[in-house]
Structures are given as C-alpha cells and as structure tokens.
Amino acid sequence: MEAPEKTEVSGKGIRLVMYFPPRSCYNDGVISKTSLLGIILIIALTIGGVVFYVVFMTSVRSDLQAAEIERKAVNNVHEDLIKKTKEPEFIMMKNEMKDALEKKSALESEKTSMELHYNEIADSLEKLLSQKQALEIELESLTDISLPQ
C-alpha cells in the first residue's frame, strides 16, 4: 500500500494536517489488526442494519397490505348489507318477521291465560273432590246409624 495522501489546511494561524486514509491505519504499509477489526465491525453492522431494515419494512408492508385487504372486505360486506336492506324482498321478509314476532307474543299471552284458567279449573276440581270425599264419609256415617239391625 502506498502512504496516505497529506493535505494541509491553514487559516487564522492554525495549521491542520489531514491524512486520508488516517495514518493510524498504516503501520509501514500494513493495516493494523485493531483498525481492520473496526472496519469489519462497521461493515458488518451496516450490512446487519440494512438487512434488519429490509426485513422489518417488508413485514410492516405485508401487515399494512393485509389490513388494507381486510378493510376493503369489511367495506364491501357493509355496502352489500346496505344494498340488501333496501331491496323489496328484504323489506317484505322484515315485515313478515315483525308479524311473526307479534303472533308469537300473542300466542304466548294466550298460553299464559290458558295456564291460569287451567290452574283455576284444577283448584276447583280439587275442592270438588275434597267435598265429594267429605260427603261420602258423611253418607257412610249416616247409613251406619240409620240401618236397624
């Protein structure tokens, strides 16, 4: 290797001598191990940073693309639902559902009233049965007393 190029810059009484590449890299024309390791480390970190940046940005870009596709799909479904709710078939089906729900509630209220009526009938039957048993017991006691032997 040839010796570094020497450049002198002077101004306002200060003389600056610059070498390119720096003189510390040379030891009789041989790059020192420390300088070589430093250069290799800088190159490795630069390559690693570039690889990390490319991988990270690719990942972020794919995530953004997936989110955009999902957003478009949701918007399409939403627009389809809006269109379907304005169709006459949907409106008729909606009205039929309302009618069916009204009929269901009417049937449930009728069922409740029928259950109450059934419970009233069952209570009155129980009372009649207890009265019948009381009358049978009274009849047996009367027949036992009134029959002469």
88 and 22 inside one domain = no
12 inside domain:
yes
Report the percent of the chain where pLDDT is more than 90. Answer: 42
pLDDT tier at 133 (50, 70, 90 boundaries)? very high
Cα dihedral 109, 111, 117, 119, rounded to 10, equals: -120
The H or E element spanning position 9 is: strand 5-11
Q: Are residues 40 and 50 in the same domain?
A: yes
Note down the domain range covering 96: 32-131
pTM for the full model?
Answer: 0.33
For residues 92-98, give the mean pLDDT. Answer: 89
Mean local confidence (pLDDT), 25-41: 71
Q: Is residue 141 part of a domain?
A: no
